[in-house]
């Protein structure tokens, strides 16, 4: 599952960069989302695979801090990029005549840069909270990822300030982002329902369906992991929610976007037609089919 997630997202990134037909805001954000998915999965899963192979469950404090920081950065990038993509759909459907002016290359680059900066600040904030606690020694966490909430709950000092900060960050990244996405889709659905043609409404709903499916999958598993780590008394439930959140959801994201997006599905064939003869095209398609069968 880790290899499928990484390879498919890297393939999506390569296809978008190589095909000039996909140099549009939607695919620019999708390219960055695929990169964030690769980083998110590569941060946690390889360490888990090594631990299973070596029967070891030990990680150094610096290794734990590094994994936690990268985990938060890529996780927040996913959250914020999904909100940015919802804003992109909102402008494309609700303001089609002004879309090219609003979502110009400078604006797209600015939105991605802001997402990265906010993710970096969130990671720095949680790292400073952990670094203030110095009484950790040979502690055990019932998870395969470096979950900062579980570690802070084991702190010897007063955790009231840490809890306040965590709740404030959760409100900002949870409530406001979800509210913004819901508002965007409320306006999108209202605009689509005013389309007189049933075929036009179907195409518009189909276009937004993949993004909405990814949002429900990612946010649903994230909320499940949060409540499992915060309220569940069973360590296995929290670990299972973490597996779904860190691995399954990101693997399904690549399938949803590649299978429901005609631009992504047609781009590899356009690249093959440009770079090879009909014989090489047939050979390449045979390799793809053979790889899929394996």
Task: Give the C-alpha separation, 282 to 214, whole Å.
Answer: 33
Structure confidence at residue 110 (pLDDT): 94
Specify whether the CB–CB gap between 76 and 173 falls below 8 A: yes
Give a yes or no: residue 287 inside a domain: no
Give a yes or no: residue 293 inside a domain: no
| Residue whose structure tokens are 């499916």 | 213
Give a yes or no: residue 294 inside a domain: no
Give a yes or no: residue 212 inside a domain: yes
Give a yes or no: residue 185 inside a domain: yes
Structure confidence at residue 136 (pLDDT): 61
Taking the CA atoms of 155, 218, 48 and 125 in sequence, report the sign of the dihedral they define.
negative
Give a yes or no: residue 171 inside a domain: yes
| Residue whose structure tokens are 């997402």 | 115
**Secondary structure class of 159 (helix, strand, coil):** coil
Ramachandran class of 19: left when φ > 0, alpha when ψ lies in -120 to 50, beta otherwise: beta
Give a yes or no: residue 116 inside a domain: yes
Count of domains observed in the chain: 1
Task: Give the C-alpha separation, 136 to 151, whole Å.
Answer: 9
Task: Give the domain extent around 229.
Answer: 2-264
211: domain CATH number is: 1.20.1070.10
Instruction: Calculate the CA 91 to chain-centre distance.
Output: 21
Give a yes or no: residue 278 inside a domain: no
Structure confidence at residue 293 (pLDDT): 39
- pLDDT values of the chain reduced to their tens digit, one per residue, 294 residues: 888 888 888 888 888 888 777 788 888 998 898 899 899 888 888 888 888 888 888 888 888 888 888 988 998 898 888 888 888 888 888 888 888 888 899 999 999 999 999 899 888 888 887 777 656 667 777 777 777 666 666 655 556 666 677 677 767 766 777 788 888 888 888 887 777 777 667 766 766 776 777 777 777 777 666 665 555 545 556 667 777 777 877 787 777 776 666 666 666 666 666 665 445 444 444 444 333 334
């Amino acid at each position: 599952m880790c290899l499928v997630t990484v390879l498919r997202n890297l393939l999506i990134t390569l296809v978008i960069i190589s095909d000039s037909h996909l140099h549009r805001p939607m695919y620019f954000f999708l390219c960055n989302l695929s990169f964030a998915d690769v980083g998110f999965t590569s941060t946690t899963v390889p360490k888990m695979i090594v631990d299973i192979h070596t029967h070891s469950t030990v990680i150094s404090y610096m290794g734990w801090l590094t994994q936690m920081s990268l985990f938060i950065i890529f996780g927040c990038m996913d959250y914020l990029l999904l909100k940015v993509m919802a804003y992109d759909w909102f402008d494309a459907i609700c303001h089609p005549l002004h879309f090219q002016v609003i979502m110009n290359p400078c604006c797209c680059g600015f939105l991605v840069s802001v997402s990265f900066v906010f993710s970096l600040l969130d990671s720095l904030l949680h790292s400073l909270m952990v670094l203030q606690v110095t009484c950790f020694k040979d502690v055990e966490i019932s998870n395969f990822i470096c979950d900062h909430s579980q570690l802070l709950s084991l702190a010897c000092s007063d955790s009231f300030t840490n809890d306040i900060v965590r709740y404030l960050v959760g409100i900002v990244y949870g409530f406001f982002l979800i509210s913004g996405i819901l508002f965007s889709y409320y306006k999108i659905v209202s605009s689509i329902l005013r389309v007189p043609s049933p075929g036009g409404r179907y195409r518009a709903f189909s276009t937004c369906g993949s993004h909405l499916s990814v949002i429900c999958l990612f946010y649903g598993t994230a909320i499940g992991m949060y409540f499992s780590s915060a309220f569940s008394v069973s360590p296995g439930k929290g670990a299972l929610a973490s597996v779904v959140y860190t691995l399954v959801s990101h693997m399904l994201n690549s399938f949803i976007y590649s299978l429901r997006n005609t631009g992504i599905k047609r781009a590899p064939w356009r690249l093959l037609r440009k770079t090879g003869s009909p014989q090489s095209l047939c050979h390449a398609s045979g390799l793809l089919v053979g790889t899929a069968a394996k």
